[in-house]
Structure 1
Amino acid sequence: MTKFDVLTVGNAIVDIIARCEEDFLVDNTITKGAMNLIDADRSALLYSRMGPAIEMSGGSAGNTAAGVASFGGKAAYFGKVSNDKLGEIFRHDMNAQGVHFATRPLGGTPPTATSMIFVTPDGERSMNTYLGACVELGPEDVQEDVVAQSRVTYFEGYLWDPPRAKEAIRECARIAHAHGQETSMTLSDSFCVDRYRGEFLDLMRSGTVDIVFANRTEALSLYQTSDFDTALTQLAKDCKLAAVTMSEHGSMILFGDQRYLVEPLKVDNVVDTTGAGDLYAAGFLFGYTNGFELADCGRLGSLAAGLVIQQIGPRMQSPLKQAAQQVGIIL
């Protein structure tokens, strides 16, 4: 009997979310739809230029942990914040959502990470992230008992940017596999894939990672092909299990030579795509760690992703467990 369904490991970031027009991105040389890494000065400049904003705890893996908890699952989280106001906000938010989060904070320098997220009228989000305290996450932050008692340990591809985090991830994988548990990763975005393609493929092919999450663009980038079927075929060979999201076309679950096409949740009004992939992973992993069939895991992922894009921000405003019960997925 494990203590946690899912342990997620990621960059602990406080999201600062504001709406903007397309020309704002152009005027401020922001790459649309990507996670742009910035320094403290650039972060301060963008903050001074953004309009009314919402502040909440975020970070890709943090969003996934919160999503698992929202389904009623048992979630834990590793991530580094600083002992400052934003760090307190992050810690409070995670604990309030039922996520076990006990990573020791830094003394105050560098400060807790922030991500300025600009949402354009089409719902697309462009992230500008100052990593701050995130880069200090290292193997000393790995709590062996938590990893050993988590059915799946999941991490974000973004963690491959800060070097010491790689050591932490490899240590998590070693512990998880030694205790008969599984590991999972999300490719995060196509720019991240471009930076670490070889390392990501090695993680998959070596068996360090068992379950992979990607979207269509990331899968194509991973295998440097324009043919989606080719990318899916290769991905199925390179890992035990994969889930590839395809926006309004749903998602594809890959398990050996089996493929499951999962329809998306019907959405009339996309408000903000922030966290869509994170919440898809949350739904899928909640289902997977609780014994659901793979197609139903995909349906839980589609439900969570479809609901989160109809609101501002990546943290659900009402329980996903309740939403699943309403559509008859969880009886």
Structure 2
Amino acid sequence: MQRQKNIQVCGIGNGVVDVQYQISDELLNELSVPKGEMRLVNAEYHIELQEKLKNIKPNRCGGGSTGNTIDAFAKFGGQAAMLSAVADDENGKFYYSELDKLNIKYKNNLISEEPTGVCFVLITPDGERTMLTSLAASKYFSKNNLSEELIANAQWLYIEGYMLSEDKSTEAIMEAIEIATQNGTKIAISASDVFIVDTFRPKLEKMLQSADLLFCNKNEALTLAQEKQDYKTALEKIRSTYPNLNVVMTKGGEGVTILYAGKYFESPAIEAEVVDTTGAGDMFAGAFLYGMLYFQEIEKAAKLASIAASKIVAKLGARYDGNFNEIINKIK
């Protein structure tokens, strides 16, 4: 007898809090960080930076790629769960409080090695964003952070490719995939970044052997297929390598191409005044998963996701707090 599943999507990803600081150009110069740069920093630098910014009141919100996807899915009204690694500190408590607000289930297993991961977003008066990310505690995600119950009770398991950068995280991901497969939980993977596809190709290819759905952008698809320019050839190569894999490929302003159950679907982009593309792919994935489960139609899921992505690029930040029902009603 098949298990009754009470979670629609369970996500696995880096547990990160986005902390936004409005700072002067002078302070940015003092920090010796080039304006507009996006880079990873270590935990030591993270602690130093926190100390230097302690007199500025930050604006915080939950972050991380999968975290953004699950946030969107839950705000649409979906039942969700999230597995990640955070520390027993102020940011860790904040991270879990954000999940609690949306009734997102999670496993409370705190990391003691390093502080909770933070993406420091330094905003200067000209609106330019300089982003320094310290993965910190999230790098320690391991099998201890998995919940067999949450994965087995989910219709879908959603995993970000960023998790492949650490060996222990990769081991945990492979175990999560095994649990999902044994319990009839479908598996969705986000390619995350061209760097991830290129650098951790063998790990990603192993994951894709068991996956049902891949979210990627055009460059990630080309890189995965080792194809130079033609994305249609890339998709055909992916289809022949992974016959059971469905692919949702975003192409920015050119819309989205979907390969689902052996058929191609095209969906146009929704025009928007682009302010900040941070989180657009994450929002797209969350909306697509919700649309697929809610409407049971690929074209409607794609349209919902495109409208949702157009909302996120028109504002600063990776999460949307507007009216999600309004987006759904545009599809009905």
The alignment's TM-score, normalised by the length of structure 2, stands at: 0.86
**CA contact 2:35–2:128 (8 Å) conserved in 1:** no
Counterpart position of 2:151 = 147
Query: Which residue of the other structure, out of 293, 299, 302, is the alignment partner of 2:306?
Result: 302
**Deviation at 1:165?**
1.2
**Deviation at 1:9?**
0.4
Counterpart position of 1:312 = 316
Task: Report the Cα distance in structure 1 between the residues aligned to 2:134 and 2:44, rounded to whole angstroms.
Answer: 9
For structure 2, the 5+ residue unaligned runs are none
Task: Report the Cα distance in structure 2 between the residues aligned to 1:252 and 1:58, rounded to whole angstroms.
Answer: 27
How big is each residue's C-alpha offset from its partner over 1:86-116, in whole Å with a ceiling of 9 and x where there is no partner?
011111111112311233222x441000112
**CA contact 2:107–2:146 (8 Å) conserved in 1:** no
- The 5-angstrom pairing of residues 175-186 of structure 1 reads 175-186=179-190
Tell me whether 1:80 sits opposite 2:85 in the alignment. Answer: yes
How big is each residue's C-alpha offset from its partner over 1:134-177, in whole Å with a ceiling of 9 and x where there is no partner?
12211122111111110110010110112211122111111111
Tell me whether 1:5 sits opposite 2:2 in the alignment. Answer: no
CA RMSD, 1 decimal: 2.9
- The 5-angstrom pairing of residues 1-331 of structure 1 reads 1-17=4-20, 28=33, 36-43=39-46, 48=52, 54-106=59-111, 108-117=112-121, 127-204=131-208, 206=209, 208-227=210-229, 228-239=231-242, 240-267=245-272, 269-325=273-329, 327=330, 329=331, 331=332
Residue 86 of structure 2 aligns to a residue whose secondary structure is coil
Deviating runs (4+, > 4 A) in structure 1? 18-21, 29-32, 44-53, 118-127
| Structure exhibiting the larger radius of gyration computed from Cα positions | 2
Task: Report the Cα distance in structure 2 between the residues aligned to 1:221 and 1:125, rounded to whole angstroms.
Answer: 28
Judging changes above 3 Å, is the alpha-carbon distance between structure 1 residues 20 and 259 closer, same or farther for their aligned structure 2 residues? farther
Judging changes above 3 Å, is the alpha-carbon distance between structure 1 residues 213 and 127 closer, same or farther for their aligned structure 2 residues? farther
Q: Which amino acid aligns with 1:66?
A: D
**Deviation at 1:120?**
9.5
Task: Name the stretch that deviates more: 50-59 or 60-69.
Answer: 50-59
Task: Report the Cα distance in structure 2 between the residues aligned to 1:141 and 1:263, rounded to whole angstroms.
Answer: 39
Residue 118 of structure 2 aligns to a residue whose secondary structure is strand
Percent identity at matched positions? 28
Residue 6 of structure 1 aligns to a residue whose secondary structure is strand
